[in-house]
Chain A
Amino acid sequence: MSFDPIKNITSKTLVLPAANIDTDQIIPARFLTVTTRDGLGKHAFNDWRYDDDGTPNDHLLNQVNSPDYQILVGGHNFGCGSSREHAPWALTDYGFRAVISSEIADIFKGNSLKNGLLPVVIEKSAHQWLLDHPGEEVTIDLEKCEVRLPKNGGTYSFEIDAFSRHCLMEGVDEMGYLGTQNDAIAEFETNHG
């Protein structure tokens, strides 16, 4: 387990409103030759944040103090594209602990859940509010499965797989859980060749 359990997160939001932000934007493929999972935060959204010569530009991601902005709000269908787990590794290393969108791609969502990055799919009106109010302090309450918006923005519930929620809140390790099923797996192998 390489991340802290999550119960709730209260933080300002960093808003990247574009729809269909793909994994090549989150972490370009040329940074995938690493053999460890550390230190990718500096390359999160690399080609948005740096000029061709590597100089940081004035992109929002370079302007904020990342520990103050733990919630990333992305446009619809966030994280589409490849299965690279480097995407959530880069985002968590940058300092994000949650991603909110009106839709989050399946593989990215699964990878995020395994790395302490809470993916929250929220209804369109709440998503629109978040897009319209960047930088507000928002609470994601994993215990109650709700997002609380300030300034009369309202409270919205979200759905998350019960097991994933349990793992995030209790720090349960899925590999350890699979290990406890060893007898069932062995029996399956005996019966199915």
Chain B
Amino acid sequence: MPKTLFDKVWERHVVVPETAEHPATLYIDLHLIHEVTSPQAFTVLKERGLKVRRPDRTLATIDHSTPTLIDADGNRPFVTEQAEKQVSLLLANTAEHGIETHGWDSDYRGIVHVMGPELGATRPGMTIVCGDSHTSTHGAFGAIAFGIGTTQVGHVLANQCILMRKPKTMAIHVDGELSDGVTPKDVILAIIAEIGVGGGTGYALEYRGSVFENMSMDGRMTVCNMSIEAGARCGMVAPDQTTFNYLEGRKFAPTDYEAACEDWLSLASDDGAAYDKEVFLKAEDIRPMVTYGTHPGMAMPIDAMIPAAADEAEENALDYMQVKAGTEIEGLKVDRVFIGSCTNSRMEDLRAAARIMSGAKVVGDVIAIVVPGSELVKKQAEAEGLHEIFETAGAQWREPGCSMCIAMNGDKAAPGELVVSTSNRNFAGRQGPGARTILASPETAAAAAIAGVLTDPRVFSDAGEDPTDVL
């Protein structure tokens, strides 16, 4: 029987098959941990006198609570003592259990979902978990990757397995050719708007079609990252030559690379494989997208009119956002711009933002911050001179971390401020109590910074030259 990509990877990891009485016991190849969702799990291990079963299959970093500024004395000022303690505890726990940790002194430290792929720790055919819902990012490599809670972090630390029933599968086909100025972020926002913020609940997604085949790994990661914003714990893209080119030569890339690639190619869904649900979008229909409400499903083309509220919750969302149905969203006054997060903080994202900001200035009272996803991204961006483009434009160039995406490190907006953000969630108060978030691509965020109002980035698409050619 023809199998899907998800089926094939799942079957490779079943330790004990599921029955009516019990979920499957699924083996986990890679467990990523960070400071926020692991402390209580290590406490449980200690209480029970358990060891980490496979420290060699566990990788740690610090990203959520970490400062993105270094002060004049070279210190990193934490938002609270408790945040600093949380980071220290992660470092102590991982040292005690012999877990490879990318802390302050590592060249690889970064947002956990940026770091994994950069290390080549994320590879096709793997099962990957992390106490973070955006673990779905790693599905871009053809891995089954999903977020877990802290209790399950404990399960994986102790047993390298989780108990889980196989989810249903949904194929999301986007065929055709994307118009100029339409980015992977726009594609995933259009998908979430189509299937709804809970439309993927209970499903594993597979992104199929020419749009994803032609997409870079950075773009595929942006797409898979936001699978959870449609309610799907994981989203995948079949591995191909683009995947292999990305991983080749990375720290954890297999030594017999050719054999590995041959195996990975075999993971693609078979012709005729059945999905529980299929959704079709046309590439040509997708325009640059922004959100206008308080969840990622409330997304619209930037050049359209704000849709009418479908229910009371949406009405409240429009009130919270201080926008009116039937009016343009373009032209909305912007207070802050955030370019970063596990959704959009990789090289392709920063290059795109720099192309638009090159030679321009951030409008007077707009605060724009650019937060690279990892130390590697930061280093590469600086080698290409992107930081100079941002700083010359008047944007702040920060240290890597989650920053304003989750706003728990002190990087946040003030009540009522409008933030154009390349992150993944526009929930009320997500970027600070009372802050209003508009999710958008790096291009749209950069355009907002230099225009001071929400602006269709395609206005700038001809003006900017490739900054790497200029320098």
Partner-B contacts on A (CB < 8 A):
17-20, 22, 24-25, 28-30, 32-37, 47, 52, 75-77, 80-85, 88, 103, 105-107, 110-111, 114-115, 161-163, 166, 174-175, 177-179, 181-182, 184-185, 188-189, 192
Contact = CB atoms under 8 A, between A and B. Distances in A.
B150 to A, nearest CB: 4
Given A105-B231, A106-B202, A181-B159, A47 B40 contact: no
B208 to A, nearest CB: 22
Interface of B: 12, 15-16, 20-23, 25, 27, 36-37, 39-40, 43-44, 48, 53, 64-65, 80, 82-83, 85-86, 89, 131-133, 135, 147-152, 154-155, 158-161, 163, 165, 167, 197-198, 201-202, 228, 231, 233, 295, 297, 311-313, 316, 406-408, 415, 425, 427-430, 433
A162 B16 CA distance: 16
B155 A175 contact: yes
Given A19-B311, A179-B158, A29 B408 contact: yes
Given A106-B231, A110-B152, A52 B430 contact: no
A80 B152 CA distance: 18
A150 to B, nearest CB: 25
Given A83-B149, A106-B201, A106-B233, A185 B132 contact: no
A80 B16 CA distance: 29
A88 B37 CA distance: 13
Contact of A47 (B23, B43, B132, B429): B429
A184 B133 CA distance: 28
Contacts of A107: 133, 147-149, 228, 233
Given A33-B80, A103-B201, A84 B149 contact: yes
Contacts of B167: 106
B115 to A, nearest CB: 18
B463 to A, nearest CB: 37
Contact of A33 (B83, B159, B312): B83
Nearest to A50: B433
A184 B15 contact: yes
A33 B155 CA distance: 21
Contacts of B427: 22, 24-25, 81
A114 B151 contact: yes
Contacts of A76: 198
Contacts of A188: 15, 27
B159 A179 contact: yes
Contacts of A20: 197-198, 295, 297, 313
A131 B86 CA distance: 39
Contacts of A84: 36-37, 149
Contact of B151 (A82, A111, A185, A192): A111
A166 B21 contact: yes
Contact of A161 (B23, B64, B80, B233): B23
Q: Dominant SS at the B interface?
A: loop
Contacts of B407: 29-30
A110 B25 contact: no
B446 to A, nearest CB: 25
Nearest to A87: B149
Given A161-B165, A184-B16, A185-B27, A80 B231 contact: yes
Nearest to A166: B21
B322 to A, nearest CB: 17
A16 B275 CA distance: 35
Most B CB contacts (10 A, CB to CB) among A35, A105, A177 go to: A35
Contacts of B39: 34-36
B295 A181 contact: no
A153 to B, nearest CB: 22
B117 to A, nearest CB: 19
B425 A33 contact: no
B44 A175 contact: yes
A20 B316 CA distance: 12
B89 A35 contact: yes
A163 B198 contact: no
A177 B163 contact: yes
Contact of A114 (B43, B53, B80, B152): B152
Nearest to B36: A32
A125 to B, nearest CB: 17
| 5 closest cross-chain pairs (CB), A and B | A83-B147, A77-B198, A111-B149, A85-B149, A35-B39
Contacts of A182: 159
Contacts of B86: 33-35
Contacts of A111: 149-151
B15 A181 contact: yes
Contact of B37 (A36, A81, A83): A83
A77 B150 CA distance: 21
A33 B430 contact: no
Most B CB contacts (10 A, CB to CB) among A18, A29, A179 go to: A29
19 contacts: A20-B197, A24-B430, A33-B408, A34-B82, A52-B433, A75-B313, A76-B198, A80-B231, A82-B425, A83-B149, A85-B37, A85-B151, A107-B233, A110-B149, A162-B21, A163-B163, A178-B155, A185-B25, A189-B160
Contact of B25 (A22, A103, A181): A181
A88 B149 CA distance: 10
